[in-house]
Amino acid sequence: MSQKTAFITGGTRGIGLGIAEELASRGYDLALNGVRSAEQVQNITERFAKQGTKAHYLQGDIGSSADRERMLSELKANFSRLDLLVNNAGVAPRERNDILEATESSYDWVMNINLKGPYFLTQAIANWMIGEGRGDNDFRPTIINISSVSASLASVNRGEYCLSKAGIGMATQLWATRLAEYGISVFEVRPGIIETDMTSGVKAKYDQLFAEGLSLQSRWGTPSDVGKAVAALASGDFPYSTGQVVMVDGGMTIGRL
């Protein structure tokens, strides 16, 4: 069997990089997407290369149809097939505005990247996977969407973000339903409060909340925590669970009295 390959959007920093590192440790070659220039992420791809992992960088904005089309062409040119798509790339609002004051420009920017982009990227990748899988009963590709506890927890000062992650939840169910006949499993991973550059500005706030019992496991989550969950789902060890959600939140969303 040829080398397994994973395509991770937003795969050169934060949660995406944690996922990439875990998959590399399990023998995957990597296609990593981001918006930074190739020169800015060269240290990351070179580090993977030194570990024996092929890591090809696909620069582009997943919210752009032209960028998605170009990245798919480049992906096909560099890899014979794709075993795993991880829709991880996402943005928070540039400004956290109350929903009574939120702007359409912020809404469109967040939804374009967080929801529209993954939806149509999945469409394109799924069609490729279907084509590659015809006649090969051993090819069992997987699609994993990274959402957030914000899919079900309301934050009125970043409504567009919450809506985008709730939409990812339904997209997971839709793709799981549509792709089951082709043997393609689809899962959703919902991280809680993960220590990344995106959350660095609210570190003091959440340090205090963890100390006050925000989650059952009173610590920040790490990109590695999410990476391990993704790798477990991609392993094929959950063959009868397509469409399901895996929480990686330290028990934060468990209802308590």
Q: Could you list the active site residues?
A: 161
Please report, for residues 12, 140, 177, the alpha-carbon distance to residue 132 in angstroms, rounded to integers and kept in the order given: 27, 10, 19
Rounded-to-integer distance, Cα 142 and Cα 179, Å: 10
Other CB atoms within a 10 A radius of the CB of residue 236 amount to 11
- Spatial contact of 246 and 189, defined as CB atoms under 8 Å apart: yes
Amino acid at 243: G
250: left (phi over 0), alpha (psi -120 to 50) or beta: left
Amino acid at 92: A
